[in-house]
Amino acid sequence: MTREEAYQLVKKKIKQRNLVKHCLAVEAVMKGLAEYFNQDTEKWGLVGLLHDIDYEETASDPGRHSIVGAELLAELGLPEDMVYAVKVHNGVHGLPRKSKLDQALYASDPLTGLIVAAALIHPEKKLHSIDADFVCKRYAENSFARGADRDVIASCSEMGLGLEEFIGLALTAMQGISAELGL
């Protein structure tokens, strides 16, 4: 599957603009992490882009989220490691994260939301106006962006990354597509 085919599928399956932007943000972070770890940036980017492909379809039954998406991606012929990463990014299933790809997607998913929330509280409301230290301070505020699960974000240690380093890599990746994100 090409990136364009994946993007068209996302636009077909996801109608909420902010959710599409979230998928783009996770794609950017995954590509940045792939580059950092000397992995396949195209593959990692596709996993990030497609990870919530079933989100709207499973909204009324969150326990099915990521299972339905993984099944769809398997039917479309995506490699097993990509399908598995999408499946295990929803921690509710309790499936083991076996690879760096799995770990990266799991930790990156909530971090993008935290970074967006941090940008939105800055007076300029722009990703380029904040730095990793600013995001780390927001991370430490448990009442800030409560939906961004701190334990999941902190699982970046499974990849051998410290929290500040992980946040810095993710923020830089998202700043690279700030126009697409409207931030």
Closest CA to 67 of 45, 43, 49, 91: 91
List the domain boundaries for the chain. Answer: 3-181
The series of mean pLDDT values per 10 residues for the chain, 183 residues long, is: 98 97 98 98 98 97 96 98 98 96 98 98 97 97 95 97 98 98 97
pLDDT for residue 25: 98
Closest CA to 124 of 175, 72, 62, 59: 175
pLDDT for residue 120: 97
pLDDT tens track for 44-58: 999 999 999 999 999
pLDDT for residue 114: 98
pLDDT for residue 180: 97
Half-sphere exposure of residue 134: CA atoms within 13 angstroms, side-chain side:
17
Query: CATH assignment of 3-181?
Result: 1.10.3210
pLDDT tens track for 117-150: 999 999 999 999 999 999 999 999 999 999 999 9
H or E stretch at 152: helix 150-154
pLDDT for residue 124: 96
